[in-house]
Structure 1
Amino acid sequence: MNIPDQAVLQILVLDFDTLACEEVSASGFDKSGCRVQTSNHREVGKIIGLRVAGFEQMIKARIAELLDAEIVVSFDFEESPAVEKRAERRRKVSIPAWVSGRKSQAGVSCKIIDASHSGCRLASPKLQDLPEEIQLQIPGLDLPVVGRIVWRSPEHAGVKLIWQFSNGKEIEQKRYRPPDLAGKVGARNKGKADSSGFGVKRKRPTN
């Protein structure tokens, strides 16, 4: 892997159960996995998504080991783009999202009101204007999530999520260069000291 052995990187962790993003630190990168500083994912075998700035695709990873304040994950570079289907359970969420066609920036604002590994439900009175093939912009994630509308009602729509993961070739072949996140985001979020380079709002420390 072309990430230096001693590198400590800020990455995004995506929870496929809730579509929630968390910005954390990761280290110990090699071709098989890395260590992630998080206390929110404590289930061995669980599939999560890792977004490393500088690479174009998300990495699918499986939690292999639990440590005190870290997890060890193994990368899964199988060709299938799907998330492993376990016993799926819809979780109630409330996530604002921007939804548009795959080839258009014109879209509608809506709310994701439940989610699972393979799909979600949207709520908005304007969903009838959307094409079948869509992409969702989720807060905290700087990559659009591709989806397909499988059913609609006047104010709701069911969406199948089509996850697109790295097959490992980019990570093996591309020389890693830390992106200038501060420069990219500085103009957009000038004065927002509580925002990270990915646009994820940092939690303020509590006394």
Structure 2
Amino acid sequence: MASSDRQQRRITVEVELASAVARISQLQLELFDIRQRLNDTTPILDMLPEDVMVEVFQYLLPSHPDPEIAGYGCSLKPIQLTLGAVCRTWRSITWSFPAFWKELRFTFAAKSDDAQAEIQVDLVQEWVRRTGNLPLQISLLLRKTKKHAVLDGILRILLQECQRWRSLEVAGKATHRLRKKMFEGSYIC
């Protein structure tokens, strides 16, 4: 292929690429608009009074402590987050009703990067905040990790609320660290 042919091909590819980028931008705007309209719709469930919706949502909350079903063995999002992702009305109801948050089932991800690890601490903090003053049922799966500062941050948050613990279940390879810290007096309730 001659140099002028390569130059012409480069120009053609650049034009096609610019067209593809423009099309992607157009599709992203269209998707945003569709999502906006979907959030603005009023399904029949949204016409129910808030207290009835709360009652319906409560039936979706897990009623068992089994770690496999609670999310330790799978990648399912907690139902509270799924409900909150449906629309603004559901998010408002779910976020503001403390009884939806009184059970904290949390898997500390061993292979998370620093950004994900910090998000985990923030998530636990926000989750506990949403419980108001209700008793807490806590189930933790602590996988072996080198991110001790993050694990310590999560445990510190939970220990600040230890007077509200109704139950605490801790499992996993990193439980020895928790026991060691408690016996050293690093974690005091």
Q: Same fold (TM over 0.5)?
A: no
Structure with greater proportional strand content = 1
TM-score interval (norm. to shorter): under 0.3
Structure with greater proportional helix content = 2
TM-score (norm 1): 0.24
